[in-house]
């Protein structure tokens, strides 16, 4: 009977179809996620490695679905990016993060920045800069307190247009960071023309620092290059004190990771901000 069961399964629902079906239902569930209030944000602190001061928070999206449970962005963001849903989701994230941060600033809980992840598709929208400007005026958030995180892939594609857009964002006064730096392809020649504020060293380097000399060399090079371009450098995924000490000795400015705090709910983040100077 077992044998028969297995054959039947293979006949009616080959693995490929199951995956396609999964994807379709995930897409349609995700479609309703915004209107059903299933998305929420967590906030992860970013600290100065030299003073320990909180420099900012990164907004990270979560999806709580009644039947799926908690879905991580690693699972749904790539799908949302493919089917275009990333635009409404990204807009919701941008708006929600700015509103929340403006509230925290007004409450005197922070003077730091709020970092928001921007997907390729979202960044490529022709009205992206207007969106950002609109959200800033509606939320009353000071532009220099908003930091947009984009990956190398986003800014190295169609450089002419990207440069125009980055400059327009710069004019608005928002800050720009390159996320996951070192994992993609960057032209150094373009990098120097872009109006950036920060490079974020990918966590894969941070986590290999203590047992891999190549990661040390790459990290060191990124920090030196960032500094010579006048950029601030933040290391992601710091989990241990030894990693933090090593990064600081390499001249890294800022850090983010489980050593300091995991991504926090709104309530926990308020507690965290109250407890830190």
Query: Site residues (CB under 5 A) for Ca ion?
Result: 117, 149, 179-180, 236
Q: Verify binding: residue 73, ligand C2E, rule CB under 6 A.
A: yes
Q: How far is the CB of 236 from Ca ion (least distance, A)?
A: 5
Interface region with ligand C2E, contact rule CB under 6 A, candidates 129-137, 154-162, 184-192, 257-265: 257-265
CB atoms within 10 A of CB 93: 22
The one-character DSSP state at 264 is B
By CB under 6 A, the residues from 222 to 251 that bind ligand C2E are 236-239
Number of H helices, E strands in the chain: 13, 9
Three-state DSSP at 144 gives: helix
Query: Are the C-beta atoms of residues 182 and 205 closer than 8 Å to each other?
Result: yes
**Nearer to ligand C2E by C-beta: 237 or 250?**
237
In the complex, the smallest distance separating the C-beta of residue 44 from ligand C2E, rounded to whole angstroms, is 6
x/- string (CB under 6 A) for ligand C2E, residues 110-139?
-------x-x--------------------
Cβ atoms of 54 and 46 within 8 Å: the answer is: yes
Distance from the first to the final alpha carbon of the chain: 66
Chain positions 76 to 105 lying near ligand C2E, rule: CB under 6 A, are 77, 90, 93
Q: Enumerate the β-bridge partners of residue 69.
A: 65
Residue 133 interacting entry, from ligand C2E, Ca ion, none, C-beta within 5 to 8 Å by type:
none
Among 162, 257, 264, 269, binds ligand C2E (CB under 6 A): 257
Contact partners, residue 157, CB within 8 Å, separation at least 6: 120
Nearer to ligand C2E, 13 or 127 (CB): 127
Q: Which does 90 bind (CB under 5 to 8 A by kind): ligand C2E, Ca ion, none?
A: ligand C2E
Binder among 61, 174, 199, 252 for ligand C2E (CB under 6 A):
61
DSSP string, 148-204: EEEEHHHHTSSHHHHHHHHHHHHHHT-EEEEEEETSS---HHHHTTS---EEEE-HH
Show the tokens assigned to 247: 């990064």
Judged by the rule CB under 6 A, the positions of this chain that interact with ligand C2E are 44, 60-61, 72-74, 77, 90, 93, 117, 119, 179-180, 203, 236-239, 257-258, 263
């Amino acid at each position: 009977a077992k044998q028969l069961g297995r054959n039947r399964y293979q006949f009616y629902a080959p693995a490929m179809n199951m995956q396609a079906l999964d994807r379709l239902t995930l897409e349609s569930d995700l479609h309703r996620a915004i209107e059903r209030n299933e998305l929420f944000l967590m906030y992860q602190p970013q600290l100065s490695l030299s003073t320990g001061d909180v420099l900012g928070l990164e907004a990270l999206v979560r999806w709580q679905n009644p039947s799926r449970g908690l879905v991580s962005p690693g699972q749904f963001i790539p799908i949302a990016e493919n089917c275009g849903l990333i635009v409404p989701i990204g807009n919701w994230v941008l708006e929600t993060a700015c509103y929340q941060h403006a509230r925290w600033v007004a409450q005197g809980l922070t003077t730091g920045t709020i970092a928001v992840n921007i997907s390729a598709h979202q960044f490529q929208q022709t009205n992206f800069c207007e969106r950002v400007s609109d959200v800033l005026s509606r939320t009353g958030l000071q532009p220099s307190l908003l930091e947009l995180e984009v990956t190398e892939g986003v800014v190295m594609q169609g450089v002419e247009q990207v440069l125009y857009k980055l400059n327009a964002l710069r004019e608005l006064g928002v800050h720009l960071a390159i996320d996951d730096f070192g994992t993609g392809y960057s032209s150094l020649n373009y990098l120097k023309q872009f109006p950036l504020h920060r490079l974020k060293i990918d966590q894969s380097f941070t986590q290999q620092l203590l047992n891999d000399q190549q990661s040390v060399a790459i990290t060191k090079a990124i920090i030196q290059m960032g500094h010579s371009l006048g950029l601030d450098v933040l290391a992601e995924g710091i989990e241990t004190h030894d990693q933090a000490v090593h990064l600081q000795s390499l001249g890294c400015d800022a850090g983010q990771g489980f050593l300091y705090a995991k991504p926090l709910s709104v309530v926990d983040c308020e507690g965290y901000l109250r407890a830190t100077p």
